[in-house]
């Protein structure tokens, strides 16, 4: 249509140029101008409509992404490593209904109660196994709510160091830090405005046990519950074992204990969570796992929270059953200086993983956690030898093969 109008206008212009006066030329030109004007008006109307539609879409999009903003009362991103205040009397609870973002207060209280009870029962069982040292307890609180209790044993007969930490945290995290803290790309900042820090509640119980004897494995567990101000909640946790030498029966007992629990709650759990542990506990710069794994899970919110709570509770309450008999079995085994040195080198690998890759350590440091509690997981002694090579065919070499190619023990 526009091309045809242009041709008509061109013809009329040519007639005038050659001195051919014609009413038709004027009529054609006027018609062309009216048509062009009508089309121009229609196009402009259409453009305005499209622009309004775009603006509406942008407005809707803006409303969608606006999200919630952290309130003035929300704690800063780093609440300060020295913001904790030691207290002599342990408070009845560290979870108070008015603290932190709105959320599932009954679950917060229930999870903390579970952690406290497990801390008491586990430390008693480990003290009984050690037969010498006892756990020292420290308690602290924070002005903005929350706090924690650490129970640490050192210089025991069986355990060089063992600790069980309870923590309740009300803090804020940058969205990118929350995103980096998950393996599966779960949107933990959902509901919050882009770039806005995310106020959160977290409660967890974590532990590491470092025995003296090289034939007694190190053991670690962590069970936790999170909520954010945007309405996101999830459970995470796991128990894993880090020996220095292979013992088939020990590994079958440890992994078998958790397979029974997993199978009871969901037939797919053990396969999924065992593989997750093998992926998670990797020292990437060594291309080997920290130990022989166990179970590990995170971002669990795909079913009723009480259902996941019961699974976490049974896993936590089975720590002593899974680990205690192994330590009892080997705590008096004879060992050589070479075997002790190998154990210390494996502890060195443990330190590397915890300081470089462990999400709990990174999370604690980024949120201004209590340093003594965060670094409680580190052993008192470790060893690094320059370019150490194991002898081919040795027990140490066989151990490394499992760290490079994780096995299914049950």
Report pLDDT digits (tens) over 303-346: 999 999 999 999 999 999 999 999 999 999 999 999 999 999 99
CA 248/CA 246 separation, integer angstroms? 6
Domain assignment of residue 68, yes or no: no
Residue 220 among the catalytic residues: yes
Please determine, for residue 31, whether its predicted confidence score (pLDDT) is greater than 60.
Answer: no
Domain assignment of residue 314, yes or no: yes
List alpha helices for 67-152, DSSP H: 105-130
Q: Which domain holds residue 362?
A: 84-404
Name residues whose C-beta falls within 8 Å of residue 17's C-beta, 6 or more positions apart in sequence.
Answer: none
Region class of 405: left (phi > 0), else alpha (psi between -120 and 50), else beta:
beta
Name residues whose C-beta falls within 8 Å of residue 219's C-beta, 6 or more positions apart in sequence.
Answer: 207, 208, 209, 239, 240, 241, 242, 319, 323
What pLDDT does 400 receive?
Answer: 98
CA 154/CA 133 separation, integer angstroms? 7
Please determine, for residue 12, whether its predicted confidence score (pLDDT) is greater than 90.
Answer: no
What pLDDT does 87 receive?
Answer: 82
Domain assignment of residue 72, yes or no: no
pLDDT tens track for 121-168: 999 999 999 999 999 999 999 887 889 999 999 999 999 999 999 999
Name residues whose C-beta falls within 8 Å of residue 128's C-beta, 6 or more positions apart in sequence.
Answer: none
Domain assignment of residue 56, yes or no: no
Please determine, for residue 221, whether its predicted confidence score (pLDDT) is greater than 60.
Answer: yes
CA 308/CA 298 separation, integer angstroms? 11
What pLDDT does 14 receive?
Answer: 38
Name residues whose C-beta falls within 8 Å of residue 271's C-beta, 6 or more positions apart in sequence.
Answer: none
Please determine, for residue 42, whether its predicted confidence score (pLDDT) is greater than 90.
Answer: no
CA 190/CA 135 separation, integer angstroms? 40
End-to-end C-alpha distance for the chain, whole angstroms: 78
Domain assignment of residue 58, yes or no: no
What pLDDT does 359 receive?
Answer: 85
Catalytic residue among 84, 220, 253, 255: 220
What pLDDT does 16 receive?
Answer: 37
Comparison of pLDDT for 368 and 118, the residue scoring more: 118
Per the structure, the count of domains in the chain is: 1
Please determine, for residue 72, whether its predicted confidence score (pLDDT) is greater than 70.
Answer: no
Mean pLDDT score, 285-297:
97
Sign of CA dihedral 314, 315, 321, 324: negative
Domain assignment of residue 248, yes or no: yes
Please determine, for residue 53, whether its predicted confidence score (pLDDT) is greater than 60.
Answer: no
What pLDDT does 67 receive?
Answer: 61
What pLDDT does 28 receive?
Answer: 42
What pLDDT does 380 receive?
Answer: 95
Domain assignment of residue 55, yes or no: no
CATH number at residue 315: 3.40.1500.10
Domain assignment of residue 171, yes or no: yes
Among 231, 81, 299, which Cα is nearest to 169's?
Answer: 81
Please determine, for residue 176, whether its predicted confidence score (pLDDT) is greater than 80.
Answer: no
């Amino acid at each position: 249509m526009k091309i045809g109008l242009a041709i008509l206008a061109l013809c009329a212009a040519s007639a005038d140029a050659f001195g051919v006066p014609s009413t038709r030329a004027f009529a054609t030109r006027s018609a062309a101008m009216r048509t062009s004007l009508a089309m121009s008006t229609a196009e402009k109307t259409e453009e305005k409509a499209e622009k309004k539609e775009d603006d509406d879409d942008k407005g809707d999009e803006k409303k969608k992404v606006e999200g919630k903003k952290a309130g003035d009362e929300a704690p800063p991103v780093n609440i300060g490593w020295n913001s904790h205040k030691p207290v002599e009397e342990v408070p009845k609870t560290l979870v108070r209904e008015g603290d932190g973002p709105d959320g599932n207060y009954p679950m917060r209280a229930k999870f903390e109660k579970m952690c406290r009870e497990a801390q008491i029962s586990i430390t008693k069982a480990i003290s009984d196994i050690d037969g010498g040292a006892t756990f020292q307890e420290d308690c602290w609180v924070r002005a903005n709510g929350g706090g924690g209790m650490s129970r640490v044993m050192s210089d025991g007969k069986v355990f060089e160091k063992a600790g069980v930490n309870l923590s309740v945290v009300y803090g804020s995290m940058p969205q990118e830090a929350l995103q980096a803290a998950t393996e599966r790309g779960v949107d933990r900042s959902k509901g919050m405005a882009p770039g806005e820090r995310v106020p959160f509640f977290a409660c967890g119980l974590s532990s590491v046990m470092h025995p003296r004897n090289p034939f007694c494995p190190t053991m670690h567990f962590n069970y936790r519950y999170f909520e954010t101000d945007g309405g996101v909640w999830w459970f995470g946790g796991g128990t894993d074992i880090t020996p220095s030498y292979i013992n088939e029966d020990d590994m079958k007992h440890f992994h078998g204990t958790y397979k029974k629990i997993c199978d009871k709650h969901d037939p797919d759990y053990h396969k999924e969570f065992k593989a997750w542990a093998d992926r998670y506990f990797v020292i990437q710069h060594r291309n080997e796992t920290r130990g022989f794994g166990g179970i590990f899970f995170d971002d669990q919110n795909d079913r009723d929270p009480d259902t996941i709570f019961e699974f976490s509770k049974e896993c936590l309450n089975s720590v002593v059953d899974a680990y205690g008999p192994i330590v009892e079995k080997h705590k008096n085994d004879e060992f050589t200086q070479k075997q002790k040195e190998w154990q210390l080198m494996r502890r060195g690998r443990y330190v590397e993983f915890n300081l470089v890759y462990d999400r709990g350590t990174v999370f604690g440091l980024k949120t201004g956690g209590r340093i003594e509690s965060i670094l409680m997981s580190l052993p008192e002694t470790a060893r690094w030898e320059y370019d150490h090579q194991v002898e081919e065919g040795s027990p140490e070499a066989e151990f490394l093969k499992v760290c490079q190619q994780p096995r299914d023990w049950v």
